[in-house]
Amino acid sequence: MEFPTLAQAECYQKIDGWMEELFSDYPWEKLDEPRFSIFLGSAWVELING
């Protein structure tokens, strides 16, 4: 995935690491855009890096 700035790429990588570390027991995924989604209980949450 390409990002317009180095800061955005670094932020995405940091969030990716946190998702792996904090939510490895929950269903989550990386979406096509620079986004992550996670399903916790009855909540669907999307993190958008933009």
In-domain check, residue 1 = no
How many domains are there within the chain?
A: 1
In-domain check, residue 20 = yes
In-domain check, residue 43 = yes
pLDDT at 49 over 80: no
pLDDT at 50 over 70: no
Find the mean pLDDT for residues 9-15.
90
Question: pLDDT for 20-44, tens place per residue?
Answer: 999 888 888 888 778 899 988 899 9
Q: Residue 5: which pLDDT band, with cuts at 50, 70 and 90?
A: very high
Sign (positive/negative) of CA torsion 29, 19, 17, 13?
Answer: positive
Return mean pLDDT, the chain: 87
Domain that holds residue 20: 6-48
- Euclidean distance between CA atoms 29 and 47, whole angstroms: 10
Sign (positive/negative) of CA torsion 9, 14, 19, 20?
Answer: positive
Q: Of how many residues is the chain composed?
A: 50
